[in-house]
Amino acid sequence: MHLITARTQLSPNVTRLEVVAPRIAEIRQPGQFVIVRRAIGAERIPLTIADADRQAGTIALVIQAVGKSTRELVALLPGGTIQDISGPLGMPTELITAGRALCIGGGVGTAVVHPIAQGLQRRGVQVVSVIGGRSREWVIFEEELRRLGEVLVCTDDGSYGRKGFVTDVAREVLAAGGVDIVYAVGPVPMMRAVANLTRPLNLHTIVSLNPVMVDGTGMCGGCRVSVGGETKFACVDGPEFDGHQVDFDLLWDRLGTYRTQEQHALSLHEEACRVGLKT
């Protein structure tokens, strides 16, 4: 059992939980993740380790509430517990040791960008982060990223920072030159757009993929992705890959494999909640 020590609402549907997991906090590296199971019999959910405090023995999990299982997770309060947390899993981020890096985060993907920016800054790399959300209330991890370097914020509706998409601002940063590598994490269309933006520049671009994942050890094969024409398992070969080699069409199709089942489970959960409120 892993004790929850703090809970913070980052945006309307994104929650940060600080959870006691000392062994993971001690050895985790940027880019790695954990598999979380709220309770016995619950769904196994992959979550990025957004931050860690070795002294306190805690890790930060950032959860977007989109389905039944994630809604149940974010409903947990300090003092509550999570049954199982397995990790750290996955390959650490490929970090450069000098130069200038452009980190691009869209929505909840900004939480994944944060440990990457941390790792780069610790190595003396100059970090420029471009982050975005639908509106101001959806922008997360801005303060944390400002501690690590320059941050450029944009929103779809122009309510905060620049109006437009992260790719619009990233295009301007790239046009100014001096960028040695790009890290992009967010919705599939966003990562695809970033890869298309950097491909003509022959600029190495790393993306973090989010396919359906079950065991996190490469046994189930659910997280299959195609990279450079080869089948890879995101849980053990990734989750980060060369964005110019990723088959984003296949990734997008596979993400929708269980959409009907997910919607059905969410409907049952919402109905149960309504009945509970009435009684």
DSSP for 155-167, written as a single string: ETTSSSSEES-HH
CA distance 145 to 269: 35
Helices (H), the chain: 22-27, 68-74, 109-122, 142-146, 166-176, 188-198, 234-237, 248-255, 259-278
Tokens read off for 151:
């941050």
66-91: pLDDT as tens digits: 888 899 999 999 999 999 999 999 99
- The domain of 81 spans 2-89
Q: From 9, 114, 139, 99, select the one nearest 63 (Cα to Cα).
A: 9
Does residue 237 lie within any of the structural domains?
Answer: no
- Structure-token pair, residue 8: 């913070």
- State how far the Cα of 222 lies from the Cα of 231, in Å rounded to an integer: 12
- Residue whose entry in the numeric block shows the structure tokens 């944009």: 154
Residues 29-55 pLDDT 10s: 999 999 999 999 999 999 999 999 999
- What's the pLDDT at 218? 81
178 and 85 assigned to the same domain: no
Work out the pLDDT band at 254, boundaries 50, 70, 90: confident
- pLDDT at res. 206: 98
Contacts of 40 (CB under 8 A, 6+ apart): 83
pLDDT, residue 275, reads: 65
Predicted confidence at residue 262, as pLDDT, reads 52
What average pLDDT does the structure give for the chain?
Answer: 91
Look up the pTM and report it. Answer: 0.89
CATH number of residue 59's parent domain:
2.40.30.10
pLDDT score of 125: 98
The last residue of a domain, from among 68, 89, 110: 89
Look at residue 214 and tell me if it is in a domain: no
155 and 124 within one domain: yes
